Amino acid sequence: MQLYKNNTLKIYNSLTGEKELFKPIHEGNVGMYVCGPTVYSNVHLGNVRTFMSFDMIFRYFLHLGYKVRYVRNITDVGHIVDDVDDGEDKIAKKARVEQVEPMEIVQRYTVDFHDVLKQFNFLPPSIEPTATGHIIEQIEIVRQIIEKGYAYETNGSVYFDVVKFNETNHYGKLSGRNIDEMLANTRDTDGQSDKKNPQDFALWKKAEPEHIMRWPSPWGVGFPGWHLECTAMSTKYLGETFDIHGGGMDLKFPHHECEIAQNEACTGHSPVNYWMHANMLTLNGKKMSKSTGNNILPDEIYNGGSPFLSKVFSPNVARFFMMQAHYRSILDFTNDGIIASEKGFNRLMEGIDILKDLQPGSTSTLDIASWQQACYDAMNDDFNTPILIANLFEGIRFVNLIKDGKETLTAADLKTLAETLNTFTFDVIGIKNEKTAANNSDKLEGVVDLLIQMRLEARANKNFALSDQIRDQLAALGIQLKDGKEGTTFSIQ
């Protein structure tokens, strides 16, 4: 259904600092690019939050009936330690320390990333391109930027000329930085740099002999700069101008600022219509960080082992916890906070369960249409999931009033209530519907009870061959029957 035709969606655009009406370039289609992980270590819960924000956004676009091309890359080369130009590649460094091939590091942490996202019920993006798979495209963009006069080659490396670019364009427009201030505050102390200005950034870096990840190029053997890959892959799969570009707040500068500069230098126009930035996850009020130990790994949520958690939580509860905050707000992770979310989550699930058995009445005493509209209004207001969830709880309040006989709904309204609650909870917020698994275990229990009954009857008829067969075949399947005073019980291994 093309619900987007009846929904006026507003998106906060980081570039303008305003909520703007969303108008895609091609009606009914959305092109969205989100910077993916640098696969040199396990993702932490903070990374998961950023990707989850965009998973929710992707899901809402799909719900509205848009055809979405969602591109989320894998950074497997070019991301230098500390996000600077001179230093070691994060992946190469890890490979050196562990004495393995860089691609072994990439493989290990890409698999880990996918495993984690699966646990949290993420939808896969439409395309997940890698930086190393797009070296030719990146070289081509460097060539074009040099041709347009915005980059220069020195000593086998190519740098983007920020000062030259700023003469005709605005370098700093996304992050609100001023180039003159930046130049005044940074000094090239060693005088050894190949750069004309310290603010210039690498498009292509010469590979020193010890550098393993290297490719031939018109400027010699080297490797691409970090910002370049996203320009190459977004342009390739979404075009020179596309609808949405997202990432974590900390990527605004330098990464996204440099992407804008590269695109504008190449094509003469801005690449993205709506820039979206997700806010950070902190832990007990402090930035989540690997080096200080102030972090939680996703699997510590559901498998335990974290000193910050008093018990384990299902990935569903962690997802619900994150969705209770707006994607542009800082979210502080605390043990008490997730315990409170678990209570809310259980209340929501119980309500949805009760709803299945409610019977319609002849009239409606509740305004379900307005309630449903409020759910859409929340999401249409820059994906406001906390307000949406408050509305879902209002829906659960209705469920309980109907159950207690205090209100009634017609069959049509009851259907709307059920469909809206289910759609937003499972399809949009992305809670995994575990009822299917629970239903299957209910069914299994029913079947085993039936077999226990048949075994009792066989025994009563002195058909011991049959009663033993039932017991033994169940045992072979790992289902143990235990005869006791209270009757026969079973356990499943």
The Cα–Cα gap between 489 and 480 comes to 8
Q: What's the min distance (Å) between Cβ of 206 and ligand AMP?
A: 24
The residue from 9, 30, 35, 317 that contacts Zn ion (CB under 5 A) is 35
Long-range contacts of 401-407 (CB under 8 A, 24+ apart): 401/366, 402/358, 403/354, 403/358, 407/365, 407/366
Record the tokens describing residue 307, joined without a space: 């000193």
- What mask of x and - would describe binding to Zn ion in positions 218 to 247, judged by CB under 5 A? ------------x-----------------
- Which residues are at the interface with ligand AMP (CB under 6 A)? 35, 37-38, 46-47, 49-50, 247-248, 250-251, 280-281, 288
CB-CB contact of 196 with 152 (8 Å): yes
| Beta-bridge mates of residue 29 | 67
Nearer to Zn ion, 230 or 276 (CB): 230
Helices (H) and strands (E) in the chain, counts: 16, 15
Q: Closest Cα to residue 309, out of 299, 322, 300, 317?
A: 300
In degrees rounded to 5, what are phi and psi of residue 397? -60, -40
Nearer to ligand AMP, 107 or 193 (CB): 107
C-alpha of 17 from chain center: 23
Q: What's the min distance (Å) between Cβ of 72 and ligand AMP?
A: 10
CB atoms within 10 A of CB 393: 13
Q: What's the min distance (Å) between Cβ of 332 and ligand AMP?
A: 11
The Cα–Cα gap between 422 and 392 comes to 10
The annotation status of 266 as a binding-site residue, yes or no, is: no
Q: Which residue is nearest to ligand AMP (CB)?
A: 248
The annotation status of 35 as a binding-site residue, yes or no, is: yes
Nearer to ligand AMP, 35 or 352 (CB): 35
Nearer to Zn ion, 166 or 262 (CB): 262
Nearer to ligand AMP, 33 or 60 (CB): 33
Q: What's the min distance (Å) between Cβ of 249 and ligand AMP?
A: 7
Question: How many residues in the chain?
Answer: 493
Nearer to ligand AMP, 47 or 324 (CB): 47
The annotation status of 23 as a binding-site residue, yes or no, is: no
Q: What's the min distance (Å) between Cβ of 238 and Zn ion?
A: 13
Q: What's the min distance (Å) between Cβ of 213 and Zn ion?
A: 18
Task: Tell me the residue type at 122.
Answer: F
Tell me which DSSP letter residue 185 carries.
H
* Residue 230 binding result from ligand AMP, Zn ion, none, given CB thresholds of 5 to 8 Å by partner type: Zn ion
Q: What's the min distance (Å) between Cβ of 38 and ligand AMP?
A: 4
Tell me which DSSP letter residue 251 carries.
G
The annotation status of 290 as a binding-site residue, yes or no, is: yes
Nearer to ligand AMP, 50 or 467 (CB): 50
The secondary element (H helix, E strand) that includes residue 482 is strand 479-484
HSE at residue 67, side-chain half, CA atoms within 13 A, is: 6
Q: Is the peptide bond before 125 cis (omega within 30 degrees of 0)?
A: no
* Residue 248 binding result from ligand AMP, Zn ion, none, given CB thresholds of 5 to 8 Å by partner type: ligand AMP
- What mask of x and - would describe binding to Zn ion in positions 311 to 330, judged by CB under 5 A? --------------------
- Binding-site positions for ATP read 290
- Binding-site positions read 35, 230, 255, 259, 290
Give contact residues for Zn ion (rule: CB under 5 A): 35, 230
